[in-house]
Amino acid sequence: MAQRLVLRRLLSLTPRTLSPQGPLAPHGRAFSTSAGCRNTFNVQDGSDFQDRVVNNPKPVVVDFHAQWCGPCKILGPRLEKMVAKQEGKVLMAKVDIDDHTDLAIEYEVSAVPTVLAMKNGDVVDKFVGIKDEDQLEAFLKKLIGA
């Protein structure tokens, strides 16, 4: 999809970053104190992925998504919510496949959303497409328990 370099910079300077005091509103990209956001983070680059996902002692679900993908916008928040319910036993990493194409290609992502379950650096489970809350809960529990 097209990008306008100027606008992207503009959008990144929104009130969120410029807000004066008080806790900032919970948002996927900003720091926040809400439990859900502590367990979820956006992958910054390849080495960040290595540190926080591959080398993480805790199991991590990796949500490969794209800005242009409608179903991703539904699955993302739903998965975040279910991850939060697990009270820190599993973490969630979000990877935008256009920003991190190498990573997406390395993990053979074709369609989005693709969610990988990773434990000790290995992919132990995965699914593609939307799932409902019960299915997600089962997926996460299996990852934690196994």
Which residues are the active-site residues?
Answer: 69, 72
In the complex with another protein, the residue whose CB is nearer, 9 or 87, is 9
**Cβ neighbours, 10 Å, residue 122:** 9
CA distance readout (Å), 85 to 47, 80, 82, 91, 125:
28, 9, 5, 11, 20
Closest approach of Cβ 108 to another protein, in Å? 8
Residue 88: which residues within 8 A CB-CB, separation 6 or more?
38, 39, 58
Closest approach of Cβ 60 to another protein, in Å? 23
Strand-by-strand arrangement of the 91-96 sheet: 40-42, 91-96, 60-65, 114-119, 122-128
- SS3 string, 37-80, reads HHCEEECCCHHHHHHHHHCCCCCEEEEEECCCCHHHHHHHHHHH
In angstroms, the CA 82 to CA 66 distance is 20
In the complex with another protein, the residue whose CB is nearer, 1 or 13, is 1
What is the binding site for another protein (CB under 8 A)?
A: 1-7, 66-70, 97-98, 101, 105, 110, 112
Closest approach of Cβ 1 to another protein, in Å? 4
Closest approach of Cβ 48 to another protein, in Å? 18
In the complex with another protein, the residue whose CB is nearer, 37 or 94, is 94
In the complex with another protein, the residue whose CB is nearer, 72 or 79, is 72
